[in-house]
Amino acid sequence: MALLFHIAQSKDIDAAATTGSYRCESIDSEGFIHCCKPEQLQGVIKRYYEGATGLLLMHIDSDLLRADLVYENTMGGEELFPHVYGEINMDAVQQIAPL
């Protein structure tokens, strides 16, 4: 299993419970869902989510994803981040926990 993380809002998790697949605003605005590797998580939280509340952390088995997974840096840096190009099938989600 290759573990990935995605930081989610509860409204999107609630919708996924009904549909069986997870999507968020970035699919429409950027074409993919942002994820990170375990070693990138603390940096992502510090850069984008410090002080935020009510968020959930999705633990995703990338081997079970049905959508395309691409490691890239869309911001022009050298560090590659996992991006899921499509909805995340909920059977790939191993755990959801408060962030």
Q: Where are the domains of the chain?
A: 3-98
CA 4 → CA 18, 22, 25, 75, distances in Å? 23, 14, 19, 19
What is the average pLDDT across 9-13? 95
Its pTM stands at 0.93
* Burial state string for 64-75 with b = 16 or more CB within 10 A and e = fewer than 16: ebebebeeeeee
Cα(37)–Cα(19) distance, integer angstroms: 26
Q: Mean pLDDT in the chain?
A: 95
3-98 folds as ADP-ribosylation fold (3.20.170)
Angle, CA 36 vertex, CA 35 and CA 37 arms, to 5°: 140
Mean pLDDT in residue range 25-44: 96
User: What pLDDT, on the 0 to 100 scale, is given for residue 69?
Assistant: 98
Which pLDDT belongs to residue 48? 92
* Residue 75 confidence (pLDDT) above 90: no
